[in-house]
Structure 1
Amino acid sequence: MATNLLTVEQVLKEKKTHDLDSVKELNLGHRALTDVSCLRKFKNLEKLDLRLNNLTDLQGLKSCVNLKWLSVVENKLQSLNGIEGLTKLTVLNAGKNKLKSMNEISSLVNLRALILNDNEISSICKLDVLKDLNSLVLSRNPISEIGDSLSKLKNLSKISLSDCRIKTIGSSLKSCSDLKELRLANNEIKTLPAELALNKRLLNLDVGNNMITSISGLEVLGTLSCLRNLNIRGNPISDNEKSAKKVRKLLLPSVNVFNAKPLDKSSNNVKHARFDSDDETVDARHNKSVEEEQSKEDRKSKKSSKRNKLEEVEANNDDHKIKKKKSKSNPNVDQVETEKKEEQKQKKTPRNDDDAAAKKKQKRATPKEKLDAIDDAETSFAEIFSRDNVSKGLGDDSEKKRSSVQETGVVRVIDTQDNKKKQKKAGKNQSKSVVSELPMEVEIGLGGESKWE
């Protein structure tokens, strides 16, 4: 194979500079390069993209000790020899090569994202020193077991081991207390271990196309209170309609998506639906309360009108009896008294009707004011019902605004006993609600947090 060398002159010409030390970032993808040894002269290089070339080794990068971000996707690498001394690397993407081992990365103490999908790696090396690692992608490798290679990685947030040959998980993930996303589709797993309950922050779990046959293999799901997205399609248990229904009953109300389909929140478990999700809008909740309040008022008004009618009938009957008695003794006196009562009755009736109408109008006006306040486009769901906006997690977008309930002008709307309880619950589970929001991806590398491939 003909060699295609990269030269210092080419790099300087492309960067329009004569100063090697000023070059900190290079994009050298799609060039069929076979040798990049000239890059050892660029001491301050921090970000390097070498995707889609013909590299067979990384020896030429030994001296690039300041590299923080490196992509060598789709080359012809059979090993990662040459990167052992690049201890400042935070992101390494070497997917779609011919790597048979990943032992060389065990010295990269600052690594945050390791992406080695579509290689020929058969086992995961010990990753104890990678204390900051938060994303690990090893999908489509012939890995048969996880073992204890991840036993000390407490900051791991996302793991992808799909399309491997994994048969059991065991207790291999028990130390990954910050795990939020776990992809294990297309393996040979027969049951989810009880130790998975220790991953209390798990939000997304994909175990589709495995060998789970019974409900007992999924019982641990009932302990995962943060779970939002679950996929078990392609397992024998999901083919059986009765078993699938049992799984749905087992799921906590917090699950929004089951087997890639949004769950119908109008079912029975809507009673227990979590308040920190966005499945129910504020308008829907408020309209419901308004309707209930109006129906109560209507019932009260109907009862009062019936009571008034009964009183009028009784009064008329009494007057009629009195008239009969008095007409026998003194007809003139009876006539005068009857006229006086008729005048008093006419005076009282309109006033009572006006008062009742005014009270009813006033009571019905309040819900409308509340509705207007909540419908205000300037007031967001998060501003009304959360105490603080949380920006922790992988690639999560931090909220720029923080507004108190009083500032939104709807304190009287939500200041009920029911909503106070919900607010307390939401306050305790702020870290959970983060995941229901759509994250704005942060570019990985340069010391920043990582994202998926």
Structure 2
Amino acid sequence: MNSLTVEQVLKEKKTSDPDSVKELNLGHKALTDVSCLSKFKNLEKLDLRFNNLKDLQGLKSCVNLKWLSVVENKLQSLNGIETLTKLNVLNAGKNKLKSMNEVSSLVNLGALILNDNEISSICKLDLLKDLNSLVLSRNPISEIGDSLSKLKKLSKVSLSNCRIKAIGSSLKSCSDLKELRLAHNEIKALPAELAVNKRLLNLDVGNNMITKISGLEVLGTLSCLRNLNIRGNPISDNDKSVKQVRKLLPPSVNVFNAQPLDKISRKEKHTRFNTDDETFDARHNKSAEEEQSKEDRKIKKSSKRNKSEEDEEEDGKSKKKKSKSNPNVDQVETEEKEEDKQKKPPSNKDDVEKKQKRANPKEELDAIDDAETSFAEIFSWDKVSKGSEDSVEKKKRSSVKETGLVRVIDNKKNKKKKTEKNQSKSVVIDLPMEVEIGLGGESKWE
């Protein structure tokens, strides 16, 4: 179907009165002519997306239209729209428009969406006093100029994927501006005049040509800024420069380069705590050495005992040899030996190794000293078996306490589990990855 008739519309709306029709959805119908819509005087909302319209002359008489979408047609101009002065929303994105001059008479326009066209310059929009959203992304626009100089109610502007080289003072009158998208352009610095936009919440200047920290100094004056993206700029390739940028940011910023800022800070704090704190490392290494020397002394003592016991066994064997002439004496001594063995606990190498495992905190301390060990793993040591709980817990608390990782209050055993649970919660906290608007991409303000 190429052309639309009044009868078809009335049949679809199940009415015989054209004046009763206020809303029409005529998308995806391959329409080339909609001149019949002039009969629908009270039409307020019209959706003509995904058709084959080349102009809007057929809508001249629809003077009561407030909402119009002609997305993805074959429009080369907006001729015929000048009479629609009651329009509040116009979406003519993804067409072949080379000019936007016709919209300058739409004095009640609140949202103008003209993304993905062939518009090379922004016309004067002085009469559009109520315009609050302007989307011109993916157009070959090289400069903004003073076309927005009288738009005091403008709160959202998208000029991403254009050819803009500088902003200058083009936004100085937009005191209500809250969201500004300028990604994928050729901007080398943010102007000092941007400080006028005190209410700016979201700023995207990713994938531009900003190389120096001086090009971002104005960020410090934007006291309401919450979301900033500078990814894709030469300055963001250098970690030092990124840290300098973060120092510039006002306290209000909570999302930086698409990541929650407090989570980034927490990660850096933990890294610094594990690797860069020399005082902590020195104190910890000292305590580890003291613990190790104590364990070495214990091992030596146990080795001496083992040696003395082996010597005694050797002496017993020699006595056996000597008493061969007297078998009665030999039998008595053998029985005494058996009784002693039953009374005495086994003192072989396995026993020494068990004692070492119980007493030696080296494995635990190595993990604490390892920068790659997470705090969650450190505190998981509290879940050891009850058989060796007292000895291990005592050494564990002393080593952890000495390293300054945590202060353990151990007044009552029944509070121990609560303390461990609270400690693990306070150390490992996963922040939700909330990503706000203002990070580039296709604009969908309607």
User: TM-score under structure 1 normalisation?
Assistant: 0.59
1:166 aligns with 2:164: yes
Deviation at 1:437, TM superposition (A): 12
**CA deviation map 1:21-70 (0-9, x unaligned):** 00000000000000000000100000000000000000000000000000
Superposition pairs of residues 439-450 of structure 1, within 5 angstroms: none
**CA deviation map 1:377-406 (0-9, x unaligned):** xxxxxxxxxxxxxxxxxxxxxxxxxxxxxx
Counterpart of 1:211 in structure 2 is: 209
Deviation at 1:198, TM superposition (A): 0.1
Counterpart of 1:103 in structure 2 is: 101
Counterpart of 2:73 in structure 1 is: 75
1:241 aligns with 2:239: yes
Q: Hey, what's the Cα distance between the residues in 2 that align with 1:437 and 1:20?
A: 46
Q: Hey, what's the Cα distance between the residues in 2 that align with 1:233 and 1:55?
A: 39
Helix, strand or coil at the partner of 1:48: strand
Q: Hey, what's the Cα distance between the residues in 1 that align with 2:119 and 2:27?
A: 24
Q: 2:58 aligns with which of 60, 64, 68?
A: 60
Q: Hey, what's the Cα distance between the residues in 1 that align with 2:264 and 2:187?
A: 33
Deviation at 1:265, TM superposition (A): 5.8
Give the AA of the match of 1:40.
S
Q: 2:44 aligns with which of 40, 46, 56?
A: 46
Counterpart of 2:139 in structure 1 is: 141
**2:259/2:435 contact within 8 Å kept:** no
Q: Hey, what's the Cα distance between the residues in 2 that align with 1:251 and 1:69?
A: 39
**CA deviation map 1:176-223 (0-9, x unaligned):** 000000000000000000000000000000000000000000000000
Q: Hey, what's the Cα distance between the residues in 1 that align with 2:232 and 2:45?
A: 41
Q: 1:9 aligns with which of 2, 7, 10?
A: 7
Q: Hey, what's the Cα distance between the residues in 2 that align with 1:207 and 1:40?
A: 44
**1:113/1:451 contact within 8 Å kept:** no
Counterpart of 1:129 in structure 2 is: 127
**1:135/1:451 contact within 8 Å kept:** no
**2:114/2:136 contact within 8 Å kept:** yes
**CA deviation map 1:326-381 (0-9, x unaligned):** xxxxxxxxxxxxxxxxxxxxxxxxxxxxxxxxxxxxxxxxxxxxxxxxxxxxxxxx
Q: Hey, what's the Cα distance between the residues in 2 that align with 1:113 and 1:199?
A: 20
Using a 3 Å threshold, how does the CA distance of structure 1 residues 130 and 451 change in structure 2: closer, same or farther? farther
Superposition pairs of residues 179-194 of structure 1, within 5 angstroms: 179-194=177-192
**1:158/1:180 contact within 8 Å kept:** yes
Q: Hey, what's the Cα distance between the residues in 2 that align with 1:437 and 1:215?
A: 25
Give the AA of the match of 1:147.
G
Helix, strand or coil at the partner of 1:264: helix
Helix, strand or coil at the partner of 2:134: strand
Helix, strand or coil at the partner of 2:262: coil
Helix, strand or coil at the partner of 1:136: strand
Deviation at 1:452, TM superposition (A): 1.1
Deviation at 1:253, TM superposition (A): 1.5
Superposition pairs of residues 14-29 of structure 1, within 5 angstroms: 14-29=12-27
Counterpart of 2:397 in structure 1 is: none
**CA deviation map 1:106-163 (0-9, x unaligned):** 0000000000000000000000000000000000000000000000000000000000
Q: Hey, what's the Cα distance between the residues in 2 that align with 1:256 and 1:65?
A: 45
1:452 aligns with 2:445: yes
Superposition pairs of residues 234-313 of structure 1, within 5 angstroms: 234-264=232-262, 267=265
RMSD value, Cα = 2.2
Helix, strand or coil at the partner of 1:168: coil
**2:184/2:205 contact within 8 Å kept:** yes
Q: Hey, what's the Cα distance between the residues in 2 that align with 1:116 and 1:155?
A: 19
Deviation at 1:233, TM superposition (A): 0.2
Unpaired runs of 5+ residues, structure 1, are 269-435, 440-449
Counterpart of 2:307 in structure 1 is: none
**CA deviation map 1:276-311 (0-9, x unaligned):** xxxxxxxxxxxxxxxxxxxxxxxxxxxxxxxxxxxx
**1:177/1:198 contact within 8 Å kept:** yes
Q: Hey, what's the Cα distance between the residues in 1 that align with 2:252 and 2:168?
A: 25
**1:60/1:82 contact within 8 Å kept:** yes
Q: 1:154 aligns with which of 152, 155, 158?
A: 152
Deviation at 1:252, TM superposition (A): 1.2
Deviation at 1:226, TM superposition (A): 0.2
- Moved beyond 3 Å, runs of 4+: 265-268, 436-439
Q: Hey, what's the Cα distance between the residues in 2 that align with 1:267 and 1:165?
A: 35
Helix, strand or coil at the partner of 1:96: coil
Q: Hey, what's the Cα distance between the residues in 2 that align with 1:437 and 1:12?
A: 46
Give the AA of the match of 1:133.
L
Q: Hey, what's the Cα distance between the residues in 1 that align with 2:435 and 2:107?
A: 31
Give the AA of the match of 2:10.
L
Give the AA of the match of 2:45.
K
Give the AA of the match of 1:192.
L
Deviation at 1:6, TM superposition (A): 0.3
**2:104/2:125 contact within 8 Å kept:** yes
Counterpart of 2:314 in structure 1 is: none
Counterpart of 2:34 in structure 1 is: 36
Using a 3 Å threshold, how does the CA distance of structure 1 residues 23 and 183 change in structure 2: closer, same or farther? same
Q: Hey, what's the Cα distance between the residues in 2 that align with 1:267 and 1:212?
A: 24
Q: Hey, what's the Cα distance between the residues in 2 that align with 1:137 and 1:81?
A: 20
How many correspondences in the alignment? 277
Give the AA of the match of 1:176.
C
Superposition pairs of residues 401-416 of structure 1, within 5 angstroms: none
What is the aligned-residue identity percentage? 88
**2:258/2:435 contact within 8 Å kept:** no
Using a 3 Å threshold, how does the CA distance of structure 1 residues 233 and 61 change in structure 2: closer, same or farther? same
Give the AA of the match of 1:168.
A
Q: Hey, what's the Cα distance between the residues in 2 that align with 1:51 and 1:10?
A: 18
Give the AA of the match of 1:88.
K
Helix, strand or coil at the partner of 2:68: strand
Q: 1:119 aligns with which of 117, 139, 163?
A: 117
1:84 aligns with 2:52: no
